[in-house]
Amino acid sequence: MSRSLNSTITTALAADVIQPFFAIDLLFDSPNETYIWNGVGTRTINSKAYSGLGELLQIEPIEETGDISARGATISLSGIDNSASSLFLKALATPYQGRVCKIYFGVMDNPTDYIEIFSGYMDQMDINEGPETTTITMTVENKLVALERPAGTRYTSAYQREQHTGDKGLDFVAGLQTKKIIWGATPE
């Protein structure tokens, strides 16, 4: 899958020294959305305030393939001070499975220019609480994983009527199984 890079990012990537950044949207239920980035301090990107976690934030390499396969991502926060971890408290108190997670890439030359490199659903969260610090590791499923799940749709008359009251279109399906249909010929 190709991504179109804007000219600012393309120019910055061609430079001798590159200062990239990653930003992550963890869209827990409102008002608990969490915005973090791998720098220091708070940075506003697209009118959202991202809290800098510096080296505490790690993103495993995101893999893209030529085929249609659902490759996920893993995000880790390590060495978090237990007394100052608002994300840790949100992780414990907020339902997270199935919530959207987006990962962006940009360059420090112009932090308003960035691209979304991954979007998926939060899946598993492993919290290892130590005496003074905590490590949170979250796996995020690719949105393509939805293609692997059964649709849950039934092609029965009862299901059709439940979805569309009064629709009798599937009432005749059972009779079609034994009906003889001759294509291209005129009935005698």
Each domain of the chain, given as residue ranges in start order, spans 7-148
Cα dihedral 89, 55, 76, 130 sign: negative
| Rounded distance between C-alpha atoms, residue 97 and residue 90, angstroms | 13
Compute CA distances 147 → 71, 86, 150, whole Å: 12, 34, 8
Cα dihedral 56, 60, 64, 69 sign: negative
Q: What are the pLDDT digits (tens) for 154-186? A: 778 888 888 888 888 888 877 788 888 888 877
- Residue 2 — very low, low, confident or very high, per pLDDT cuts 50/70/90? very low
pLDDT, greater one: 187 or 16: 16
Q: What are the pLDDT digits (tens) for 126-165? A: 888 878 777 888 889 887 766 666 777 777 888 888 888 8
Q: In 3-state terms, what secondary structure has residue 173? A: helix
How much is the pTM? 0.69
Dihedral-angle region of residue 145 (phi above 0 means left; psi in -120 to 50 means alpha; beta otherwise): alpha
Q: Specify whether the CB–CB gap between 39 and 100 falls below 8 A.
A: no
Q: What are the pLDDT digits (tens) for 59-108? A: 887 776 666 666 788 888 887 766 555 665 666 677 888 899 999 988 88
Tokens standing for 177? 């199984």
